[in-house]
Structure 1
Amino acid sequence: MFDAPFSSYQRSRGRARVALGATGALTGLFQQGSAKAMLPRTHGPLPEVVFLNTSGGLTGGDRFQFSLDVAAGAGAMAATQTAERAYASPDGVAEVSVSLSAGEGATLFWLPQETILFDRSGLDRRTEVTLGEGARYLGLETVVLGREAMGERVETLDFQDVRVVRDAAGRVIHAEQIALGSGTLAGRDRAAGLAGASVLASLVYIAPDAGDRIGPVRAALGDAPGCAASAWDGRLTIRAMGRDSWDLRRALIPAIRLLTNDHLPRVWQT
């Protein structure tokens, strides 16, 4: 009986939800399974929310949900405690859903740390954001294909990442999707593909002053290779790609500081 093959693998499940009231005080907290939320003591103008996955990474069959609600007129900066890692999946893909909402005139900065995708990993992630009238939102996602310093090269992958931002009436005001599979990676060195990049970052800033920020943001990016910014219709976006996650983060930090009034999550600095 001890030689019999396992019919199933142990899977991780987790849900974490945080709600902040008009003064920024905690009004709701729910934690279940391997998903946790922390509110570290800070001295800045915005409360910080840190989400974490205590199971140590993601693999096929894992299911996680993270949620943050910021009341009208309030503000918050949210991040993940460390880089999330998606490991080789012998069966299926991991699923992660992120739900964010900011009420009328609220401010919400979503600055998770990098997502590292290892060879043969599978991850399906969906981020849904709802913004009230006059709300200000900054969202960043960075994807790392293996660890360059360790000589890792990702050849087989199943990664889907969908991000949708809606107004309070449900109208889509921003949407994007990244799909990376083995076929994409086969041409990763071509200029029409990833041009040899192993780190990809996407930033979106949605606010009444988004169009006015494009000049200063481009100046903040300077001549950083692989970075470009554009703005239209109340949105500002930055796309960046490179071969080193630290170099890419360092290139983006001046622009992020500009858009957040010189604030970064504390977990980025530890």
Structure 2
Amino acid sequence: MAQFLSTYFLVLISAQLVKSSGVFELKVHSFTTSNSSVCKHNRDCDVFFHVCLSYTQDVISYRLGCSNGTGVSVTFSTGQSFISTCAPISVPFNLRQQGTVSVIIQAWDAESSNEQPTENLNNIGHFATKINLTNSQKWSQHVHLGEQSELRLSYRVVCNKFYYGDDCLSFCRSRDDVFGHFTCDNAGNIICLPGWKGEECKEAICSSGCREEHGYCEAPGQCKCFEGWQGPHCDECRRYPACVHGTCEHPWQCNCEEGWGGLFCDMDLNV
């Protein structure tokens, strides 16, 4: 039975990891119980903890396979009291609303013997409280007292990779491709790479002096001219084709210099 539950919890956690934006981490520091039914055979006594996050208003409500987030610890071989040094229990979640959620922690003991190879699960502790799910690197310390047990723990909320904000719902992932050229700061804000600008850093910054009304760039440092303009900075107009002794102020003009006339400014008026 214990093996079935562990497998069941692992399947749930794997499914949650796909869609989760944050992780609720809980450390069990110590657990003490006066329950006489714990480890009554005094051999092969294993204890593990199941943690559930729930958005229900009733903090006592609990159903196996909590859909809002669930996690299970490793199994400890122990007696009626122990101090834990194991890694935190991780509960993936998607915070759908800021504020308070219910945390339900259940302690289980699984006993087996050579005469009875099947395992029996006994609930030896039930703790429920409400917390504020807010992203923080600091651990909050708590002591929970049950009818026959005491649980000392700490918890924190951390965002998954690429997620930011108090609610872990702001997504930012550095990239340098056609969809954007940027990195992310510690708050998840987009920071354009050198040579790029715009809301998603898709616009290249042209070379210094480039007349952007007459030219453009596809990569940083370029200055490609629109039709009718030329020069390193795209600030020189192109004359009408075949214009000989003329100038232009706008593309395709042929304004004759003094002493010249005709469509192409090729007629000497002094002759």
Please tell me the TM-score bracket, short chain as reference. under 0.3
Q: Higher relative CO (CA 8 A, sep ≥ 6), structure 1 or 2?
A: 2
Compute the TM-score of the two structures, normalised by the length of structure 1: 0.23
- Larger CA Rg, structure 1 vs 2: 2
